[in-house]
Chain A
Protein backbone atom coordinates (compact mmCIF):
# COMPACT_ATOMS: atom_id res chain seq x y z
CA UNK A 1 0.00 0.00 0.00
CA UNK A 2 2.84 2.39 0.90
CA UNK A 3 4.47 1.54 -2.45
CA UNK A 4 1.29 2.55 -4.25
CA UNK A 5 0.92 5.80 -2.29
CA UNK A 6 4.58 6.62 -2.97
CA UNK A 7 4.08 5.87 -6.68
CA UNK A 8 1.21 8.35 -6.80
CA UNK A 9 3.31 10.96 -5.01
CA UNK A 10 6.12 10.39 -7.51
CA UNK A 11 3.84 10.89 -10.51
CA UNK A 12 2.26 13.98 -8.94
CA UNK A 13 5.72 15.48 -8.44
CA UNK A 14 6.79 14.59 -11.99
CA UNK A 15 3.57 16.10 -13.36
CA UNK A 16 4.30 19.35 -11.52
CA UNK A 17 7.89 19.43 -12.82
CA UNK A 18 6.65 18.91 -16.38
CA UNK A 19 3.95 21.58 -16.04
CA UNK A 20 6.69 23.99 -14.98
CA UNK A 21 8.98 22.96 -17.86
CA UNK A 22 6.68 24.36 -20.56
CA UNK A 23 7.44 27.88 -19.30
CA UNK A 24 11.19 27.34 -19.76
CA UNK A 25 11.18 25.32 -22.98
CA UNK A 26 9.21 28.13 -24.64
CA UNK A 27 11.98 30.60 -23.70
CA UNK A 28 14.65 28.31 -25.21
CA UNK A 29 12.68 27.57 -28.35
CA UNK A 30 14.43 28.96 -31.43
CA UNK A 31 17.73 29.75 -29.67
CA UNK A 32 19.53 26.73 -31.14
CA UNK A 33 18.33 23.64 -33.00
CA UNK A 34 15.82 21.55 -30.94
CA UNK A 35 17.87 18.37 -31.46
CA UNK A 36 21.00 20.09 -30.16
CA UNK A 37 19.02 21.43 -27.17
CA UNK A 38 17.71 17.98 -26.36
CA UNK A 39 21.18 16.44 -26.66
CA UNK A 40 22.44 19.12 -24.24
CA UNK A 41 19.60 18.23 -21.88
CA UNK A 42 20.45 14.51 -21.87
CA UNK A 43 24.21 15.10 -21.53
CA UNK A 44 23.69 17.53 -18.63
CA UNK A 45 21.35 15.12 -16.79
CA UNK A 46 23.69 12.13 -17.37
CA UNK A 47 26.73 14.02 -16.08
CA UNK A 48 24.86 14.96 -12.90
CA UNK A 49 23.75 11.36 -12.30
CA UNK A 50 26.95 9.54 -13.34
CA UNK A 51 28.88 9.81 -10.01
CA UNK A 52 26.01 8.10 -8.17
CA UNK A 53 25.95 5.25 -10.71
CA UNK A 54 29.67 4.68 -11.07
CA UNK A 55 30.61 5.00 -7.41
CA UNK A 56 28.07 2.48 -6.13
CA UNK A 57 28.44 -1.18 -7.04
CA UNK A 58 24.70 -1.99 -6.80
CA UNK A 59 23.97 0.53 -9.57
CA UNK A 60 27.13 0.01 -11.62
CA UNK A 61 26.60 -3.78 -11.79
CA UNK A 62 23.21 -3.31 -13.47
CA UNK A 63 24.48 -1.23 -16.39
CA UNK A 64 24.89 -4.16 -18.77
CA UNK A 65 21.46 -5.70 -18.13
CA UNK A 66 19.76 -2.29 -18.45
CA UNK A 67 21.44 -1.35 -21.71
CA UNK A 68 19.13 -2.96 -24.32
CA UNK A 69 15.86 -2.04 -22.67
CA UNK A 70 17.06 1.51 -21.97
CA UNK A 71 17.98 1.97 -25.64
CA UNK A 72 14.39 1.11 -26.62
CA UNK A 73 12.78 3.22 -23.87
CA UNK A 74 15.03 6.17 -24.75
CA UNK A 75 14.03 5.92 -28.41
CA UNK A 76 10.52 7.04 -27.41
CA UNK A 77 11.89 9.68 -25.04
CA UNK A 78 14.01 10.98 -27.92
CA UNK A 79 10.84 11.98 -29.79
CA UNK A 80 9.10 13.45 -26.76
CA UNK A 81 11.90 15.76 -25.71
CA UNK A 82 12.89 16.69 -29.23
CA UNK A 83 9.34 17.67 -30.13
CA UNK A 84 8.72 19.79 -27.05
CA UNK A 85 11.18 22.56 -27.94
Chain B
Protein backbone atom coordinates (compact mmCIF):
# COMPACT_ATOMS: atom_id res chain seq x y z
CA UNK B 1 0.00 0.00 0.00
CA UNK B 2 1.56 3.26 -1.16
CA UNK B 3 0.58 5.96 1.32
CA UNK B 4 1.55 8.75 -1.10
CA UNK B 5 -0.57 7.30 -3.90
CA UNK B 6 -3.30 6.13 -1.54
CA UNK B 7 -3.46 2.78 -3.24
CA UNK B 8 -1.88 -0.62 -3.76
CA UNK B 9 1.28 -0.54 -5.87
CA UNK B 10 3.91 -3.11 -6.89
CA UNK B 11 7.60 -2.17 -6.63
CA UNK B 12 10.47 -3.91 -8.34
CA UNK B 13 13.09 -4.56 -5.67
CA UNK B 14 15.96 -3.97 -8.09
CA UNK B 15 14.73 -0.41 -8.65
CA UNK B 16 14.97 0.63 -5.01
CA UNK B 17 18.04 2.83 -5.13
CA UNK B 18 18.31 3.65 -1.42
CA UNK B 19 18.40 1.47 1.65
CA UNK B 20 14.86 0.94 2.99
CA UNK B 21 14.24 1.99 6.56
CA UNK B 22 11.44 0.99 8.93
CA UNK B 23 9.06 3.82 9.78
CA UNK B 24 6.73 2.30 12.34
CA UNK B 25 3.99 -0.30 12.45
CA UNK B 26 1.92 -1.60 9.56
CA UNK B 27 -1.04 0.74 9.10
CA UNK B 28 -2.53 -0.95 6.04
CA UNK B 29 -2.32 -4.73 6.46
CA UNK B 30 -3.49 -6.79 3.50
CA UNK B 31 -7.16 -7.78 3.99
CA UNK B 32 -7.52 -11.47 4.76
CA UNK B 33 -7.90 -13.53 1.63
CA UNK B 34 -6.01 -11.05 -0.55
CA UNK B 35 -4.11 -12.80 -3.33
CA UNK B 36 -1.00 -10.63 -3.41
CA UNK B 37 0.38 -12.37 -6.47
CA UNK B 38 -2.69 -11.48 -8.51
CA UNK B 39 -1.95 -7.79 -7.92
CA UNK B 40 1.09 -7.98 -10.17
CA UNK B 41 0.32 -11.04 -12.30
CA UNK B 42 -3.01 -10.75 -14.15
CA UNK B 43 -2.72 -14.31 -15.45
CA UNK B 44 -3.00 -15.65 -11.89
CA UNK B 45 -6.29 -13.90 -11.18
CA UNK B 46 -9.22 -16.16 -10.69
CA UNK B 47 -12.67 -15.38 -11.94
CA UNK B 48 -14.19 -14.76 -15.33
CA UNK B 49 -11.82 -14.56 -18.27
CA UNK B 50 -12.19 -12.08 -21.09
CA UNK B 51 -13.50 -13.71 -24.24
CA UNK B 52 -13.70 -12.57 -27.86
CA UNK B 53 -14.66 -13.95 -31.28
CA UNK B 54 -12.04 -13.27 -33.93
CA UNK B 55 -11.49 -13.93 -37.62
CA UNK B 56 -7.97 -15.08 -38.53
CA UNK B 57 -6.42 -15.13 -41.98
CA UNK B 58 -4.83 -18.31 -43.36
CA UNK B 59 -1.40 -18.88 -41.80
CA UNK B 60 -1.62 -15.66 -39.78
CA UNK B 61 -2.23 -14.78 -36.14
CA UNK B 62 0.11 -17.35 -34.60
CA UNK B 63 -0.02 -15.71 -31.16
CA UNK B 64 -3.82 -15.26 -31.29
CA UNK B 65 -4.33 -18.90 -32.25
CA UNK B 66 -2.53 -19.90 -29.05
CA UNK B 67 -5.27 -18.14 -27.04
CA UNK B 68 -7.93 -20.47 -28.47
CA UNK B 69 -8.95 -24.03 -27.77
CA UNK B 70 -10.84 -24.26 -31.09
CA UNK B 71 -9.42 -26.53 -33.73
CA UNK B 72 -8.49 -24.68 -36.90
CA UNK B 73 -5.70 -25.77 -39.21
CA UNK B 74 -2.96 -23.16 -39.33
CA UNK B 75 -3.17 -22.75 -43.08
CA UNK B 76 -6.93 -22.17 -43.02
CA UNK B 77 -8.78 -18.90 -42.45
CA UNK B 78 -11.70 -18.98 -40.04
CA UNK B 79 -13.26 -17.88 -36.81
CA UNK B 80 -11.97 -18.63 -33.33
CA UNK B 81 -13.13 -18.02 -29.78
CA UNK B 82 -10.19 -16.70 -27.78
CA UNK B 83 -9.80 -16.10 -24.06
CA UNK B 84 -7.39 -14.19 -21.87
CA UNK B 85 -7.22 -13.28 -18.19
CA UNK B 86 -6.34 -9.73 -18.99
CA UNK B 87 -8.02 -7.38 -21.49
CA UNK B 88 -4.80 -5.51 -22.10
CA UNK B 89 -2.97 -8.70 -23.05
CA UNK B 90 -5.77 -9.74 -25.37
CA UNK B 91 -5.80 -6.36 -27.13
CA UNK B 92 -2.02 -6.37 -27.41
CA UNK B 93 -1.98 -9.86 -28.94
CA UNK B 94 -4.65 -8.98 -31.50
CA UNK B 95 -2.91 -5.72 -32.43
CA UNK B 96 0.39 -7.60 -32.86
CA UNK B 97 -1.31 -9.68 -35.56
CA UNK B 98 -2.06 -6.57 -37.68
CA UNK B 99 -4.34 -7.34 -40.60
CA UNK B 100 -4.09 -11.06 -39.90
CA UNK B 101 -6.74 -10.96 -37.18
CA UNK B 102 -10.00 -9.06 -36.81
CA UNK B 103 -12.09 -8.91 -33.63
CA UNK B 104 -15.75 -9.56 -34.45
CA UNK B 105 -17.18 -9.33 -30.95
CA UNK B 106 -17.60 -7.98 -28.35
CA UNK B 107 -18.25 -4.60 -29.94
CA UNK B 108 -16.48 -2.55 -27.23
CA UNK B 109 -13.28 -4.52 -27.80
CA UNK B 110 -13.63 -4.06 -31.54
CA UNK B 111 -14.04 -0.32 -31.00
CA UNK B 112 -10.90 -0.23 -28.83
CA UNK B 113 -8.91 -1.93 -31.58
CA UNK B 114 -10.17 0.53 -34.21
CA UNK B 115 -9.30 3.44 -31.96
CA UNK B 116 -5.79 2.11 -31.29
CA UNK B 117 -5.11 1.40 -34.96
CA UNK B 118 -6.38 4.85 -35.96
CA UNK B 119 -4.11 6.46 -33.40
CA UNK B 120 -1.14 4.45 -34.65
CA UNK B 121 -1.82 5.32 -38.27
CA UNK B 122 -2.29 9.03 -37.64
CA UNK B 123 0.66 9.29 -35.26
CA UNK B 124 3.08 7.71 -37.71
CA UNK B 125 1.66 9.39 -40.83
CA UNK B 126 2.79 12.78 -39.52
CA UNK B 127 6.04 13.90 -41.05
CA UNK B 128 8.83 14.37 -38.53
CA UNK B 129 11.82 16.60 -38.96
Query: Is B a genuine binding partner of A?
Result: no
**Residues of A at under 8 Å CB distance from B?**
none
